Homo-oligomer: A and B are copies of this chain.
Amino acid sequence: MDRSLICPRFEKAMSILSQRWTGLVIYQLLTGPQRFCHIESSIGISGRVLSERLKDLEHEGIVKREVFPETPVRIEYSLTEKGAALEPLMNEIEKWSQNWLEAQN
């Protein structure tokens, strides 16, 4: 296996996922498309930070933002195919953290 090829991609993946809240935002979106305020209240993140994270994730092609021209306008966030492909990884992080980390930490 050629580590010199894996290394930059592996590190890039870690650098995307390692931003505080990013994992939880993706984790939350695995349950389906949802509005900003729903994500905000579900994970208890501040609106300002959530807005930043969603922009970063859109930029990485992991999240998409859709505007539905209703009255009032409805805006929903969902995972792209690239984002949905993170599901097994998210499940593994959850599994490991449940098995090996203390609840109080």
**Total interface residues on A, using CB and 8 Å?**
41
Can you tell how many copies of this chain the complex includes?
2
Tell me, in angstroms, the Cα distance from A25 to B82 when the chains sit together: 26
A86-B94 contact, Cβ under 8 Å, with A14-B23, A43-B3: no
> Which of A4-12, A48-56, A70-78 is near enough to bind chain B?
A4-12
A24-B7 contact, Cβ under 8 Å, with A17-B18, A105-B12: yes
A43-B7 contact, Cβ under 8 Å, with A18-B17, A85-B96, A89-B96: yes
> Of the candidates B9, B98, B100, which one forms a contact with A97 in the assembled complex, judged by CB atoms under 8 Å apart?
B9
Query: What residues of chain A have their CB less than 8 Å away from a CB belonging to chain B?
Result: 3, 5-15, 17-18, 20, 23-24, 27-28, 42-44, 82, 85-86, 88-89, 92-105
Chain B residues closer than 8 Å to A92, beta-carbon distance = 88-89, 92
